Structure 1
Amino acid sequence: MRIITISLILLLTGSGGLYAQKPPFNGMTQNIGYDKMIPPLGIEVTYNKTVHILFPSRIKYVDLGSAYLIAGKADATENVLRVKAAIENFSGETNFSVVCENGNFYTFNARYAQEPELLSIEIADLLRQQGIKDKPNQISVGLADLGHNSPTLIDLIMRTIYRNNDRKIRHLGYMAFGVQTTIKGLYVNDGLLYIHVQIRNTTNIPFTIDFTRFKVSDKKLVKQTATQEKVIIPLRAFNEEIEIGGKSTVRTVFALPKFTLPDDKVLLFDLIEKDGGRHQSVRIESSDLLLAKTISKLKTN
């Protein structure tokens, strides 16, 4: 019996090793090759200090591999994740994954260290330092609020519109109290409307935004009611700022979902000042939407 046991061990550990002899799955299956794997990034965590990871866009989802870790978005931020060990000196490794608003999926392996080498990590810099050009640790995923639209493409379109900074429209704007709001361009792609907005503060007093709002309202000059207004919530916003300093200008690109705008309706872009009265409101009519440029004519490289 002892000889049989030894022979079995040699059979499992020899010629390919123990792991090569794992029992097969039931039914028809195909092995996943390492070329299909997303290599994780290595992160060290500890109990008495917090590791902060800065992502390129808002965090939509976080999954922790075990109870050894605790994590959450840093207070008053949307793209900074704080991670630390839940218990001291845990052994081995665990993992966690993050999905960002731009559709990028990131995966990490985490291990305990008394003194982590890095406490503040900027993902883009980390990838560059490791010589990762094709970013194999991330992949674009679909997000429920975008339907069939690619979050990576939406992000690319908004960045391109912002970078080009073209003035395609010259008659849509609003100015009051030394603040000027201008619609610089309207673009459409795959059912989504992209609006390029510029806000210029010509005063010395900072303009702090309480909230922005897109809403479809009646053209008629009557008191608006809840049934006469439809709020359009942007899917994404690129370079959205809370405060426009004195004598400064800020530009933002919004991506809006598909909606209809009959001739008797208008789209209003409202900009409400926090603790102030310098509110802005730009009126966009259905005829203006016909001026929207198709993204096929926009260079996105």
Structure 2
Amino acid sequence: MYPQQEDGDLYHGLSRKLTFDRMIPPYGLEVTYDKTTHIIFPSAVRYVDLGSPNLIAGKADGSENVIRVKATRKNFREETNMSVITESGSFYTFNVKYADEPLLLNIEMADFINDGSEVNRPNNALDIYLKELGSESPKLVHLISKAIHKDNRRHIKHIGSKAFGIQYLLRGLYTHNGLLYFHTQVKNTSNVPYEVDFVTFKIVDKKVLKRTAIQEQVIFPLRAYNYATAVAGKKD
């Protein structure tokens, strides 16, 4: 037999009640049937969950960080929710309700670490880990890349390639928690703009004996910071 319920708490035994300091505050979002709401996130979206079939959502065509949301039927009364996880490891949650004329149709989510409150959790959690980064926090990967780019020191001076006025240099090589960070630079000494078609990383045999197959292993980068797709003339 269980004791009589008096305080409205449905949990007994060793269960701990979740308190408000553990809650990630949701954003209020209005949607409608005849208009589409667009939400712009600071980084690529990896996961979207809708709490009700009254909503439909998906990435905007040609974009990785824009989500479009709208109602699938008119005037639904029940409030629902939507959750989003981004490539930076941030978690966003929304309480969604129907409105004939939503006040906000185009929304930009800021990428901040804390809202300044001492009693509340950040509005976007920063401790979500993604499979390809292993035990490393996506936010920490971003901060390390940003620090390397800002510091811009050249620790390596003899690794690079130069042809037709284009020079590619390795300025530094760093490691943290099993990941390698390559700090590279492209110099364009010509007067013609140089467009970067693609960049590949390969592990190849340095010395190849006769009648021996060349071993090549392509390495796919996990992240890129300040990835340049074009270098103007006389620039780097």
TM-score class, shorter: 0.7 to 0.9
Matching residue within 217, 222, 231 for 1:230: 217
1:52 aligns with 2:38: yes
Identity rate, percent: 51
Distance apart, 1:194 and its partner CA:
0.4
Aligned CA RMSD, in angstroms, stands at: 2.8
Could you tell me which amino acid in structure 2 is paired with residue 209 of structure 1?
V
1:154 aligns with 2:137: no
1:96 is matched with 82
Distance 1:95 1:207 in 2: 46
- What are the Cα deviations for residues 268-291 of structure 1, in whole angstroms up to 9, with x where unaligned? xxxxxxxxxxxxxxxxxxxxxxxx
TM-score, normalised relative to structure 1: 0.67
Counterpart contact for 2:161–2:168, Cα < 8 Å: yes
1:275 is matched with none
Distance apart, 1:37 and its partner CA:
0.7
Distance apart, 1:221 and its partner CA:
5.5
Matching residue within 71, 76, 86 for 2:72: 86
Counterparts in 2 of 1:241 and 1:69: CA distance versus 1, 3 Å: farther
Distance 2:44 2:92 in 1: 13
1:181 aligns with 2:168: yes
Counterparts in 2 of 1:87 and 1:208: CA distance versus 1, 3 Å: farther
SS at match of 1:154: helix
Listed as ranges, the matches of 1:1-301 within 5 Å are 21=8, 24-25=10-11, 28-124=14-110, 132-133=115-116, 136-139=122-125, 140-220=127-207, 228-249=215-236
TM-score, normalised relative to structure 2: 0.83
Counterpart contact for 2:205–2:214, Cα < 8 Å: no
Counterpart contact for 2:204–2:214, Cα < 8 Å: no
Distance apart, 1:164 and its partner CA:
1.4
Distance 1:247 1:50 in 2: 44
SS at match of 1:163: helix
Between structure 1 and structure 2, the one with the greater Rg is 1
Distance 1:239 1:48 in 2: 38
Counterparts in 2 of 1:242 and 1:95: CA distance versus 1, 3 Å: farther
Going by fraction, where is helix more abundant, 1 or 2? 1
- What are the Cα deviations for residues 91-131 of structure 1, in whole angstroms up to 9, with x where unaligned? 23211111111111111111222222222222118x79xx9
Distance 2:14 2:192 in 1: 69
Counterparts in 2 of 1:160 and 1:175: CA distance versus 1, 3 Å: same
Gaps of at least 5 residues in structure 1 are 1-11, 250-301
SS at match of 2:197: strand
Distance 1:103 1:146 in 2: 10
Counterparts in 2 of 1:118 and 1:203: CA distance versus 1, 3 Å: farther
Could you tell me which amino acid in structure 2 is paired with residue 103 of structure 1?
G
Counterpart contact for 2:208–2:214, Cα < 8 Å: no
Distance 1:121 1:230 in 2: 42
Going by fraction, where is strand more abundant, 1 or 2? 1
Distance 1:197 1:119 in 2: 40
Could you tell me which amino acid in structure 2 is paired with residue 235 of structure 1?
L
SS at match of 2:150: helix
Counterparts in 2 of 1:171 and 1:96: CA distance versus 1, 3 Å: same
SS at match of 1:238: coil
Distance 2:137 2:102 in 1: 36
Could you tell me which amino acid in structure 2 is paired with residue 105 of structure 1?
F
